[in-house]
Amino acid sequence: MSWQLHNEDMPYDQFVVQQLAGDLMPGATLAQKTATGFHRNTLTNREGGIDPEEDRVKQAVDRTNVAGELAPQIYS
C-alpha cells in the first residue's frame, strides 16, 4: 500500500480510488501511479506443468478479494 497517499489524510473513498486506479487518473502523480502498483502486483506461478487458466483465475480471485475488502469500508 502506498503509505505516502495514506499519510496525506485524504478521505477513504479517494484513497481507495487511488489504490485501485491511480494510474488512470488525469495527470496522475508518481505517488498515484505507485499506489496502483500494489493492486496490479499479483500472484504469479512459473512452475512447470501449471494450468495457465487456473493460474489466471487465481490471480483474478486475489485481486477481487483485495478490492472486496476495501469497498465495504467506504460505505460504512
pLDDT tens track for 9-54: 778 788 778 777 888 889 988 888 887 776 677 777 888 888 989 9
pLDDT for position 53: 92
Q: Quote the domain boundaries for residue 10.
A: 3-74
| pTM as predicted | 0.55
Q: Fill in the DSSP letter of residue 10.
A: -
Task: Provide the number of structural domains found in the chain.
Answer: 1
| Higher pLDDT among residues 3 and 71, named by residue | 71
Closest CA to 32 of 41, 20, 44: 20
70 pLDDT more than 50: yes
